[in-house]
Structure 1
Amino acid sequence: DLWQGLLWQDLRAALGQKSLPELVRELGGEPVPARPERMPERLSVFGISTLPPIFLDVLQAYGRFRPLRIYALQPAPVMWGEVESEKEWKKRALKRAEARAGRPVREDDLHEERGNPLIGSLGRTGREFFNLLVDRDAHDVPLKFRQPAGDSLLARLQRWTFEVFQDQPEERKPLLEGDESVTINSCHGPMREAEVLRDYLLRRFAGDDTLRPRDVVVMMPDPEGYAPYLRATFGNMEDGMPEFFPYSIVDREPRRESHLVDAFFDLLEFFDGRATNREVLDLLDSIALRARFGLEDDDLNTFRGWIRDCHAHWGLDGDHRRHFGSTETDEHTWRHALDRMALGFSMRGNGSRTWEGVLPFDEMEGENVLRFAKLS
């Protein structure tokens, strides 16, 4: 909408800072780098299946002054970006056939060579990435491709994928006896999938002395979703199975992978927030802080009662509350609540006796003294 563009222009003018596209455009137009000594002598990019166009523009600007190599996966020795999915092919072929015939044409009447539908349907992200590279005049380094060999079902599929523009795979042949190169298992849920995978791998390891765990890669659409099932299956072997099965789960968010990392980010977010009693209790209930300070369920239940009775609602202190536009007072902050608890060590308030305006919290005795040390 027009108003959005005008709004962004006004914000850009008010802030006085150039946007990322503006900076990238200026970077690409520089005749010489501003600080060549800070640029690496060469740059290699690998392990990337795709990149946003603006990042490629930055790399292209670097490549004008220094050697740049991008290593990208290419499944066949053809111009991968020209391979079309079946849907794309049908749309293009129908349009061309109708233009020639001057009338509507059915899909069944198409007689054009469409190529391999498998690589066209499964490689869209990679194909688009290759097209972005070609649009930026990337030079393709000639590589020597090796055609897949073998008579297994997987090898035959690989050869068909390798020969992209063949409509049909090679002549059908009976499966080799014991060929498990491609198997399909129908499972009722992710837990059962993990169990079937475990049994399959154990059977393969038992039948092949040369096979090692480092030779196995298991691909899945959602590592986060499968992680608990894999841990439950491979981390608790049943009777008659190896006690330990080495494995690791990658491509997970660091916060999901480590309780310590999760607690660290929670702390960072906590100090940027209002420090409410709920946020503090959630931090104390985290696995990392429980382990660090030896907190038990009874401790947390006691803390909840103290926080309620001492009226700790939000804010570290009055100054912290002021930053959020509230009154600069320690009332109902953590400073006031902790002062009440600490004063309870020295004197009893009996509901009315104060010291410098602070009412002691009378629950500070016995084992609660040790609990307060954990809280403070």
Structure 2
Amino acid sequence: MFHLSFSNRFEILLDALLEGLAAEQPGPFGQRQVVIPSSALRRKAELAVADREGVCANLRFDYLAQWLWQQIGRVVPVPERSPFSPALLAWRVYVLLDPADARGAWVAAHPRLGRYLEGADARMRLELATRIARVFDHYLTYRPRWLEQWAGGQGSVLEAGASALEREDEAWQAELWRRIREGLALRQEHPAQAFLRRVTAMSRDELAAVGLPASVHVFGLPALPPLYLDMLRELSRVVEVRLYVLNPCREFWFDIVDARRLSWLAVQQKDMFFETGNSLLAAWGKQTHAHIGLLFEGQHAVEEDAAFAPHPGRHLLAQLQNAILDLQELAPASVRLAASDRSIEVHVCHSRTRELEVLHDRLLGLFRTHANTPEALRPSDVVVLMPDLEGAAPLIEAVFGTAPPARRIPWRITGLGGTRESPVAKVLDQALQLAAGRFPASRVFDLLQQAPVAARFGLDESGLETVHDWMQAAGVRWGLDGQEGEGAPSAQHSLDEGLHRLFLAWAAGGAAQQASFAGRIGAAAPEGQAALALG
């Protein structure tokens, strides 16, 4: 069964998920399976289940690609982990891009790629390989037919009007894809395609015999690639597949377009079946529009239920959400703002760092405004969305991680590309990256936070927080001892100097902060059991 649950409110969808999970009785050794888009949403679901049932147990959370790969393995022989995952594929691409290696000799036939690689060092080549691996991962998900044509040498997938540069880029990508497939000794058919073909030909009894789960709950995904959706539909013949989808509007809004697009259609005399509706929804709702439209595409049996509810508030954000819900346009000057209404704010900042600083100040203000009230806001209630999380991650550490204790906000970054690599291998990789750089304090602390390293030194979360505060108090910025070579940072802010100041404070106590010893002033106040982390 393929079942869709729609709502404009996250809380309503979460309640529907909890009710669906509570209705399942897998037994003490069974598992209820939930597919989520992020670790933050997983944590929210775990806490909600614990509140509802008293304990969060018999639950298995997976990302959609991981869960589908497990089901493919029940029907088609595949390795435990997809060889096409970007983390693995990047290294295969890296080898194939090395002109000095015999496997990279093919690059000479593609001048555009070759010119870039001529001036590229190993780090630049790895960066390019990582980006190519991600692009191929997207091709596998959204453009599998392109890869099929390339693998079979069936010519170009580009349109007739493509430029010469585009065709040159396609040529080396197609050649690279063929060499990747040869290196993996793959069949002409991708495992996902083989899975779909076999499952389509299998009877219900045969499908039930391969050990597929009884049900799966797909919760809160903002988009579904067509290939993954086709696999879910085929699985729904014997697996109860329940999708929980956010839909901002309870009206039929699939014929709305933004005003500029409508004007263009009018000139072409093609505007008969289109309207503007809510302009904000028409302009910013395109991904959701495509996502929901795809769920109903084709001749497939679908069970559907919907629970929409207007926002009960009267502030500007509530009125805007309710206008979208009813597919109405808020007339200009139709909303009278209360003096305290700050439900929607626009801050114009000169840089991403300044944006984060303003965000930090604004959050502190919100926490203080609602402190000791029924509407008290906690850090765990706040989620911050960013368009380029990977690029902003170091800046988040610089702003939120260096705040003094009185202004400290607990924070965590979720949504960065995660892997299922060995934790020890991940630590080794980070250590090698550190050795090739200037040992910035944020990277050193990131290494210390890794589970194997923290366990080796007996550091729990509070211990790590203490070490973080010590590093800040001791002025550690980068460098081991300031002797890393030309262009190295000053020893004054190195890790070695910071440790000297911390040990001095531990040995001399408060006196070390009143007078200098051997030209140093003590930092922080390591004492008691907490000082064990210094050793």
Q: Does 1:84 align with 2:250?
A: no
Q: Which residue is 2:389 aligned to?
A: 223
Q: AA paired with 2:153?
A: L
1:116-168 Cα shifts (integer Å, max 9, x gaps) = 1111211212211111110143635232211123331112211221122x344
SS in 1 for 2:305: coil
Q: Percent identity?
A: 28
Q: Which residue is 2:459 aligned to?
A: none
Q: Which residue is 2:232 aligned to?
A: 59
1:296-327 Cα shifts (integer Å, max 9, x gaps) = 679999xxxxxxxxxxxxxxxxxxxxxxxxxx
**5+ long unaligned stretches in structure 2:** 1-145, 156-177, 457-478, 486-535
1:46 to 215, 219, 226: 219
Q: Please say if residues 379 and 411 of structure 2, whose CA atoms lie closer than 8 Å, have aligned partners that are also in contact.
A: yes
| Counterpart Cα distance in 1 of 2:333 and 2:351 | 36
Instruction: Give 1:27 deviation, angstroms.
Output: 2.1
Q: AA paired with 2:317?
A: L
| Counterpart Cα distance in 1 of 2:150 and 2:303 | 40
RMSD: 4.3
Q: AA paired with 2:387?
A: P
1:171-191 Cα shifts (integer Å, max 9, x gaps) = 613311121111111111111
Q: Please say if residues 43 and 68 of structure 1, whose CA atoms lie closer than 8 Å, have aligned partners that are also in contact.
A: yes
SS in 2 for 1:147: coil
Q: AA paired with 1:197?
A: L
2:203 to 28, 31, 35: 31
Q: Please say if residues 149 and 159 of structure 1, whose CA atoms lie closer than 8 Å, have aligned partners that are also in contact.
A: no
Q: Which residue is 1:18 aligned to?
A: 189
Please identify which structure carries the higher strand content. 2
2:400 to 221, 228, 234: 234
| Counterpart Cα distance in 1 of 2:484 and 2:398 | 28
Q: Please say if residues 204 and 237 of structure 2, whose CA atoms lie closer than 8 Å, have aligned partners that are also in contact.
A: no
1:149 to 290, 312, 319: 312
Q: Please say if residues 278 and 329 of structure 2, whose CA atoms lie closer than 8 Å, have aligned partners that are also in contact.
A: yes
Instruction: Give 1:8 deviation, angstroms.
Output: 6.2
Instruction: Give 1:243 deviation, angstroms.
Output: 5.1
Q: AA paired with 1:58?
A: M
1:197 to 355, 359, 365: 359
| Counterpart Cα distance in 1 of 2:149 and 2:243 | 40
| Counterpart Cα distance in 2 of 1:212 and 1:118 | 30
Instruction: Give 1:30 deviation, angstroms.
Output: 2.6
| Counterpart Cα distance in 1 of 2:218 and 2:149 | 39
| Counterpart Cα distance in 2 of 1:124 and 1:261 | 40
| Counterpart Cα distance in 2 of 1:67 and 1:3 | 34
Q: Please say if residues 147 and 162 of structure 1, whose CA atoms lie closer than 8 Å, have aligned partners that are also in contact.
A: yes
CA change 1:248–1:151 in 2 (3 A) is same
Q: AA paired with 2:334?
A: R
| Counterpart Cα distance in 2 of 1:91 and 1:32 | 49
CA change 1:40–1:183 in 2 (3 A) is same
Q: Which residue is 1:247 aligned to?
A: 411
Q: Does 1:211 align with 2:377?
A: yes
1:21-49 Cα shifts (integer Å, max 9, x gaps) = 35423422433353524110111111311
Q: Please say if residues 74 and 80 of structure 1, whose CA atoms lie closer than 8 Å, have aligned partners that are also in contact.
A: no
SS in 1 for 2:217: strand
| Counterpart Cα distance in 2 of 1:122 and 1:143 | 22
| Counterpart Cα distance in 1 of 2:212 and 2:436 | 45
Q: AA paired with 1:230?
A: I
Q: Which residue is 2:140 aligned to?
A: none
CA change 1:53–1:3 in 2 (3 A) is closer
- Asked which structure has the greater CA Rg, the reply is 1
Instruction: Give 1:51 deviation, angstroms.
Output: 1.7
Q: Which residue is 1:373 aligned to?
A: none
| Counterpart Cα distance in 2 of 1:44 and 1:215 | 24
| Counterpart Cα distance in 1 of 2:297 and 2:353 | 45
| Counterpart Cα distance in 2 of 1:116 and 1:3 | 41
**5+ long unaligned stretches in structure 1:** 101-111, 268-277, 302-376
| Counterpart Cα distance in 2 of 1:22 and 1:97 | 41
Q: Which residue is 2:105 aligned to?
A: none
1:175 to 313, 328, 337: 337
Instruction: Output the TM-score relative to the length of structure 2.
Output: 0.43
Q: Equivalent residues in 2 for 1:259-274 (5 A)?
A: 262-264=426-428
Q: Please say if residues 24 and 54 of structure 1, whose CA atoms lie closer than 8 Å, have aligned partners that are also in contact.
A: no
Q: Which residue is 1:68 aligned to?
A: 241
Instruction: Output the TM-score relative to the length of structure 1.
Output: 0.60
